[in-house]
Amino acid sequence: MPDLSTSYAGLTLRSPIIIGSSDLTDSVRKIQQLEESGAGAVVLGSIFEEEIALEHESVMAGLRAQGRDLIDYDSYEYHIRAQHLDSVTQLIRDAKKSVSIPVIASINCVYSHEWTTFAKFLEDAGADALELNMFFLPSDMSRDSKETENLYFEVIRRVRQEISIPIIVKMSYYFSSLLQLIRRICDSGVAGVVMFNRFYSPDFDIDKMEIMSSKVLSSPEEFPISLRWVALSYGRISCEIAASTGIHDSTAMIKQFLAGAQVVQVVSALYMHRRGYVRTMLDELETWMDRKGFGCLDDFRGKLSQAESKDPALFERVQFMKFFQGPGRG
Ligand SMILES: Cc1cc2nc3c(=O)[nH]c(=O)nc-3n(C[C@H](O)[C@H](O)[C@H](O)COP(=O)(O)O)c2cc1C
């Protein structure tokens, strides 16, 4: 039997499939089922600071409409914040008693001082690592790229001062010097990077002439975006890579390991299939490794990365020139 165990961001995992941050992991029962089906670790849904602020605003608007004196509700935001934190910290405590796989907490905050407060609570509750779901949309025309990038480093610096569990950064790819930024993030003391997060995107309903949400779940066609950057990063950065987005089957997962991923994160595929789908993906990985004669993941990890491939230039190709120059294409 091939050995599927792996290290990742200072953790030891029995398998390389991590269930990504989402409500797939929002109860102990679900986490137990994921462990039973072979998951190597789970990431809990993020604590969204913005969500707490919005909930507070909506409660205050309701009270205002009833003509209440808002002075009486001065500390209400702290109350809502405590409720959100309590439910996540309780989940971490209960999960840690019930499963043996690592439980990774996740935070997404807007104001930098909150990142550190939340991080400390999650560490104290027993989280094995902390994933920073960080994304500052570069839409502010008055802020240059350096200023935006500095925000990331400031958050990492502050969180590092506060906690000692491994820190993982869940990245976006909206950076002009992406590879350099990934390297700098790793050099700032981060143990792992998730490449990449997938964000809410607006779409239009052309009948109602309204803005709506684009598809919440990814499609299998999306995985080559991270494949390129995983392959370009492997062997050149100081932290381990979790490939994410569009990994819907064992073939996509194996490709990410060949590119150099340490682990993969899976979300949409599990919403589309049953939770036991993790087992199917692992069985197929084992069958493939057996067929190829690989005893462990390190036997083939990174073999098609840019650093190790025989044709490194292919990773830097961005135009389809030759494709359109074939016979009959003018
Ligand atoms: C319903 C749903 C909830 C999610 N919630 C979070 C979240 O709280 N924090 C986060 O960092 N990512 C969240 N994500 C993003 C996923 O963790 C993942 O990065 C994304 O879905 C891409 O992976 P996939 O192609 O395997 O779905 C969510 C995704 C979905 C579909």
Contact 236, 307 (CB under 8 A): yes
Residue nearest to atom 2 of ligand 1 (CA): 22
Give the Cα separation of 294 and 292 in Å (integer). Answer: 6
Pocket test for ligand 1, best of 172, 248, 267, 272 (most atoms within 8 A of CB): 267
Mean pLDDT over residues 43-72, rounded?
A: 75
Contact 149, 116 (CB under 8 A): no
Q: Which two tokens stand for residue 319?
A: 């135009």
Considering only CA atoms, which of 67, 102, 88 is closest in space to residue 23?
88
Residue nearest to atom 25 of ligand 1 (CA): 245
Q: Which comes out higher in pLDDT, residue 54 or 286?
A: 286
Question: Binning pLDDT at 50, 70 and 90, where does residue 49 land?
Answer: confident
Confidence (pLDDT) at 66: 76
Q: Which comes out higher in pLDDT, residue 9 or 115?
A: 9
Q: How far is the CA of 63 from the centre of ligand 1 (A)?
A: 33
Give the Cα separation of 320 and 101 in Å (integer). Answer: 43
pLDDT in tens, 154-175: 999 999 999 999 999 999 999 9
Atom index in ligand 1 nearest the CA of residue 20 equals: 17
Q: Which comes out higher in pLDDT, residue 76 or 41?
A: 41
Question: Binning pLDDT at 50, 70 and 90, where does residue 187 land?
Answer: very high
What are the backbone dihedrals phi and psi of residue 107, each rounded to the nearest 5 degrees, phi first? -130, 145
Q: How far is the CA of 272 from the centre of ligand 1 (A)?
A: 13
Q: Which comes out higher in pLDDT, residue 91 or 65?
A: 91
3 state DSSP class of 124: helix
Question: Mean of the per-residue pLDDT values for the chain?
Answer: 90
Q: How far is the CA of 120 from the centre of ligand 1 (A)?
A: 23
Mean pLDDT over residues 62-72, rounded?
A: 72
Beta strand pairing status for 167-171 and 47-48?
unpaired
Residue nearest to atom 4 of ligand 1 (CA): 22
Provide the residue ranges of all domains of the chain, joining segments of one domain with +: 6-324
Its pTM stands at 0.91
Q: How far is the CA of 199 from the centre of ligand 1 (A)?
A: 8
Residue nearest to atom 12 of ligand 1 (CA): 21
3 state DSSP class of 257: helix
Q: How far is the CA of 315 from the centre of ligand 1 (A)?
A: 27
Q: How far is the CA of 242 from the centre of ligand 1 (A)?
A: 14
Confidence (pLDDT) at 162: 92
Residue nearest to atom 3 of ligand 1 (CA): 22
Q: How far is the CA of 29 from the centre of ligand 1 (A)?
A: 19
Q: For 107-116, 144-153, 287-296, which range has the lowest pLDDT when averaged over its residues?
A: 107-116
Mean pLDDT over residues 188-217, rounded?
A: 94
Mean pLDDT over residues 104-109, rounded?
A: 91
Considering only CA atoms, which of 233, 242, 132, 135 is closest in space to residue 178?
233
Confidence (pLDDT) at 300: 98
Ligand 1 site residues (CB inside 6 A) read 20-23, 45-46, 106, 133, 170, 197-198, 216-218, 244-247, 266-269
Q: How far is the CA of 166 from the centre of ligand 1 (A)?
A: 20
Question: Binning pLDDT at 50, 70 and 90, where does residue 248 land?
Answer: very high
Residue nearest to atom 5 of ligand 1 (CA): 22
Q: How far is the CA of 247 from the centre of ligand 1 (A)?
A: 12
Atom index in ligand 1 nearest the CA of residue 245 equals: 25
CATH class of 6-324: alpha beta
Residue nearest to atom 29 of ligand 1 (CA): 22
Give the Cα separation of 156 and 171 in Å (integer). Answer: 13
Q: How far is the CA of 91 from the centre of ligand 1 (A)?
A: 18
pLDDT in tens, 300-330: 999 999 999 888 888 888 777 766 665 555 4
Q: Which comes out higher in pLDDT, residue 75 or 195?
A: 195
